[in-house]
Chains A and B, each alone.
Chain A
Amino acid sequence: MRNRSVPLREVHVWEMPVRLYHWINALCIVSLCITGYLIGDPPAFTTSTEAYANYWFGTVRFVHFSSAFLFFFNFVFRTYWGFVGNEFSRWYHFIPYSKKHWMEIKDVIMVDVLQVTNKKIDSIGHNNLAAFIYFMTFLIFLLQSLTGFGMYSAMSSSFFPKLFAWIVPFLGGDMHVRQIHHILMWGFILFAMVHVYLVFYHDYIERRGITSSMIGGWKFIEEDVIERHEKEKD
Chain B
Amino acid sequence: MEKHIPSFYEEVRGKGISRRDFLKFCTTMAAFLGLEASGVGQIVKALESKPRLPVIWFHFQECTCCSESFIRASHPIVADIVLNKISLDYQETLMAASGVQAEDAYKAVMQKYPGEYIVMVEGSIPTENEAYCCIGGRSALQILQEAVKNCKAVVAWGNCASAGCVQAASPNPTGAKPVHKVISGKPVINVQGCPPIADVMAGVVVHLLTFDRIPQLDGMNRPQAFYSRRVHDTCYRRANFDAGLFVESFDDEGAKRGYCLYKMGCKGPVTYNSCGIIKWNDSVSYPIQSGHPCIGCAEAGFWDNGPFYQHLPEVAGFGIETTADKIGLGLGVATAVGIAGHAIVTNFRKHKEIKNEEPEEGSTVETKKE
A interface list, Cβ under 8 A from B = 2, 4, 6-7, 40-42, 44-49, 51-58, 60-61, 113, 115, 117-120, 154-155, 165-166, 168-170, 172-179, 182-183, 185-186, 189-190, 193-194, 197, 201, 204-206, 222-225
* Closest chain B residue to A223, Cβ basis: B367
Report which residue of A47, A53, A205 has the largest number of chain B beta carbons within 10 angstroms of its beta carbon: A47
CA distance A197 to B332 in the complex (A): 13
CA distance A169 to B180 in the complex (A): 14
B336 in the interface (beta carbon within 8 A):
yes
Closest 4 CB pairs of A and B: A186-B328, A169-B219, A57-B244, A174-B270
B369 in the interface (beta carbon within 8 A):
yes
CA distance A38 to B355 in the complex (A): 45
Stretch from B42-50, B61-69, B346-354 contacting the other chain: B346-354
CA distance A201 to B311 in the complex (A): 39
A40 B312 Cβ-Cβ under 8 A:
yes
Residues of A within 8 A of B313 (CB): 175, 179
Q: Which of A56, A172, A193, A225 contacts B243 (CB 8 A)?
A: A56
B interface list, Cβ under 8 A from A = 218-220, 229-230, 233, 239-246, 248, 253-254, 257, 262-263, 267, 269-272, 296, 299-302, 305, 311-313, 315, 324-325, 327-328, 331-332, 335-336, 339, 342-343, 345-346, 349-350, 353-354, 356, 359-367, 369-370
Report which residue of B246, B324, B343 has the largest number of chain A beta carbons within 10 angstroms of its beta carbon: B324
B296 A56 Cβ-Cβ under 8 A:
no
A174 B271 Cβ-Cβ under 8 A:
yes
Known: A6-B367, A7-B367, A119-B362. A190 touches B331 (CB 8 A): yes
* Closest chain B residue to A176, Cβ basis: B301
Least distance between B8 CB and chain A CB atoms (Å): 34
Residues of B within 8 A of A189 (CB): 328, 332
Q: Which of B300, B327, B356 contacts A4 (CB 8 A)?
A: B356
User: What are 8 of the A-B contact pairs (CB < 8 Å)?
Assistant: A40-B325, A41-B311, A113-B342, A115-B349, A174-B230, A179-B315, A205-B346, A222-B367
CA distance A155 to B300 in the complex (A): 20
Q: Which of A48, A60, A120, A182 contacts B365 (CB 8 A)?
A: A120
The A interface is mostly helix, strand or loop, or mixed, namely helix
Least distance between A7 CB and chain B CB atoms (Å): 5
A175 B349 Cβ-Cβ under 8 A:
no
CA distance A42 to B244 in the complex (A): 8
B335 A51 Cβ-Cβ under 8 A:
no
B270 A186 Cβ-Cβ under 8 A:
no
Known: A40-B312, A40-B325, A182-B312. A118 touches B242 (CB 8 A): no
Q: Which of A48, A117, A120 contacts B253 (CB 8 A)?
A: A48
CA distance A225 to B327 in the complex (A): 43
A6 B366 Cβ-Cβ under 8 A:
yes
* Closest chain A residue to B314, Cβ basis: A179
CA distance A47 to B244 in the complex (A): 9
CA distance A43 to B346 in the complex (A): 40
Least distance between A151 CB and chain B CB atoms (Å): 8
CA distance A222 to B363 in the complex (A): 11
Residues of B within 8 A of A120 (CB): 362-365
Least distance between B369 CB and chain A CB atoms (Å): 7
B363 A175 Cβ-Cβ under 8 A:
no
CA distance A189 to B253 in the complex (A): 35
Report which residue of B243, B244, B299 has the largest number of chain A beta carbons within 10 angstroms of its beta carbon: B244
B301 A47 Cβ-Cβ under 8 A:
no
Residues of A within 8 A of B296 (CB): 175
Residues of B within 8 A of A44 (CB): 246, 248
CA distance A179 to B356 in the complex (A): 48
CA distance A212 to B262 in the complex (A): 44
* Closest chain A residue to B345, Cβ basis: A115
CA distance A44 to B328 in the complex (A): 22
Least distance between A127 CB and chain B CB atoms (Å): 15
Least distance between B218 CB and chain A CB atoms (Å): 8
A166 B262 Cβ-Cβ under 8 A:
no
* Closest chain A residue to B366, Cβ basis: A6
A58 B253 Cβ-Cβ under 8 A:
no
Q: Which of A2, A45, A51, A175 contacts B242 (CB 8 A)?
A: A51
CA distance A165 to B228 in the complex (A): 12
Q: Which of B245, B300, B356 contacts A172 (CB 8 A)?
A: B300
Residues of B within 8 A of A172 (CB): 300-301
* Closest chain A residue to B369, Cβ basis: A224
Known: A183-B315, A186-B324, A193-B332. A42 touches B262 (CB 8 A): yes
A206 B353 Cβ-Cβ under 8 A:
yes
CA distance A55 to B242 in the complex (A): 5
Known: A42-B244, A58-B243. A178 touches B362 (CB 8 A): no
A51 B230 Cβ-Cβ under 8 A:
no
A118 B359 Cβ-Cβ under 8 A:
yes
CA distance A54 to B259 in the complex (A): 12
Known: A173-B270, A201-B342, A204-B354. A47 touches B245 (CB 8 A): yes
* Closest chain B residue to A206, Cβ basis: B353
